[in-house]
């Protein structure tokens, strides 16, 4: 029987997490699913962990060398047989009813893409500290305040910075528009892929309920935040050169603002890295003298520290916000 949904799981050195991801797929209330694990040349026991599952719904593909998440997803999608494509990172997992619920929305709304909210959970924590739609995260300047089921367009997607969501895609839509992940991107590939789908006219539906558990842990794919920002900055610049974007003033305006915001974050990160490099390479007094002649580096480095502290405080901020609402 042909599966309704093919779930693509790119993995790299995830032996401590991949079993949880696979288990969450096999326990879905929608049984007509297949899981395609694409191992990106792991050097730990990830492949051996996956091979322990003797299940005809699970397929393991192993890359000859490390190619990055975009290549792995494309390889998984090419092997998929389902009517829908779902994405699952190897350190995350699904709520048992996730696929069933998203398929119901997809059918009811005649959608091409359906995404839900995400539970945000720290590594090895027992409970989520918040959800993506409730947390002050990302490069967006509009809070994603959804209720029920909502259709979004490309401008909504950019201004709410929804690149971290993990939608299901109608496979026929991807094939018709020849959509794939950019193999050259190791960071920000989701944002680019989703935005291309929206520019191609995808009906993109958001379900405000969270069914996806998004885990943050040391050693995850985003290991180099500076490189991540550099790739996102360059990617937005490329989008601004696309003819379809040029013809849409509102879309150009939103992308330009994102370009400026990401650029500011990048400048702050570069300044902080430069400050660290100065102190590592120079003697103390020589380093201080160099910094005095370039005071902007101090200002931007302070902003870097404040930004990091703000991001780390996000779980507390969300918890206090929820508590105050309950009190009222």
Tens digits of pLDDT across the chain (328 residues) = 789 999 999 999 999 999 999 999 999 999 999 999 999 999 999 999 999 998 999 999 999 999 999 999 999 999 999 999 999 999 999 999 999 999 999 999 999 999 999 999 988 888 898 899 988 778 899 999 899 999 999 999 999 999 999 999 999 999 999 999 999 888 889 999 999 999 999 999 999 999 999 997 544 434 467 788 888 899 999 999 988 888 899 999 999 999 999 998 888 888 777 777 766 776 666 666 666 666 666 665 565 566 565 655 555 555 555 555 554 4
140 and 282 together in one domain: no
253 and 301 together in one domain: yes
Residue 77 to residue 200: CA distance in whole angstroms = 19
- What phi, psi does 177 have (nearest 5°)? -100, 5
In a domain, 19, yes or no: yes
211 and 233 together in one domain: no
In a domain, 327, yes or no: no
CA dihedral in degrees (283, 285, 290, 292; nearest 10)?
150
Cβ–Cβ contacts within 10 Å for residue 131, how many? 20
In a domain, 131, yes or no: yes
Helices (H), 121-242: 154-159, 171-176, 189-199, 225-239
Percent of the chain as helix, strand, coil, to the nearest 5:
45, 15, 35
**Residue 189: CA atoms inside 13 Å, Cβ hemisphere, count?**
20
In a domain, 328, yes or no: no
| Of 181, 216, 251, the domain-final residue | 216
* pLDDT reported for residue 229: 84
| Of 165, 196, 216, the domain-final residue | 216
What the block records as the tokens of 271 is: 């300044």
What CATH number does residue 126 fall under? 3.90.550.10
15 and 114 together in one domain: yes
134 and 207 together in one domain: yes
9 and 97 together in one domain: yes
In a domain, 127, yes or no: yes
* pLDDT reported for residue 59: 97
* pLDDT reported for residue 327: 46
* pLDDT reported for residue 223: 46
């Amino acid at each position: 029987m042909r599966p309704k949904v093919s779930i693509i799981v790119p993995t790299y050195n995830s032996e401590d997490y991949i079993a949880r991801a696979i288990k969450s797929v096999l326990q879905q209330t929608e049984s007509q699913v297949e899981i395609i694990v694409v191992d990106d040349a792991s050097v730990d026991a990830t492949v051996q962990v996956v091979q322990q599952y003797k299940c005809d719904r699970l397929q393991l593909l192993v890359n000859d060398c490390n190619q990055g998440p975009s290549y792995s997803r494309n390889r998984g999608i090419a092997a998929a047989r389902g009517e829908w494509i779902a994405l699952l990172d190897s350190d995350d997992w699904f709520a048992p009813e996730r696929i069933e619920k998203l398929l119901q929305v997809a059918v009811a709304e005649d959608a091409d893409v359906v995404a839900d909210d995400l539970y945000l959970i720290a590594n090895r924590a027992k409970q989520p500290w918040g959800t993506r739609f409730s947390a002050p995260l990302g490069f967006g300047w509009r809070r994603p305040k959804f209720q029920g089921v909502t259709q979004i367009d490309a401008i909504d997607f950019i201004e709410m910075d929804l690149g971290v969501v993990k939608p299901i895609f109608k496979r026929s839509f991807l094939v018709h528009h020849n959509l794939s992940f950019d193999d050259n991107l190791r960071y920000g590939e989701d944002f680019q892929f989703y935005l291309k789908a929206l520019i191609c006219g995808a009906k993109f539906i958001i379900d405000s309920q969270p069914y996806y558990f998004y885990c943050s842990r040391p050693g995850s794919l985003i290991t180099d935040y500076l490189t991540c920002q550099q790739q996102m900055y360059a990617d937005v610049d490329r989008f601004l050169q696309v003819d379809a974007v040029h013809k849409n003033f509102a879309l150009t305006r939103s992308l330009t603002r994102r370009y400026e915001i990401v650029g500011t974050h990048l400048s702050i990160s570069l300044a902080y890295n430069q400050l660290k490099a100065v102190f590592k390479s120079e003697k103390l007094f020589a380093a201080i003298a160099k910094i005095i002649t370039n005071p902007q580096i101090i200002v931007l480095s302070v902003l870097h520290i404040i930004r990091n502290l703000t991001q780390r405080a996000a779980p507390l901020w969300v918890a206090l916000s929820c508590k105050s609402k309950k009190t009222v």
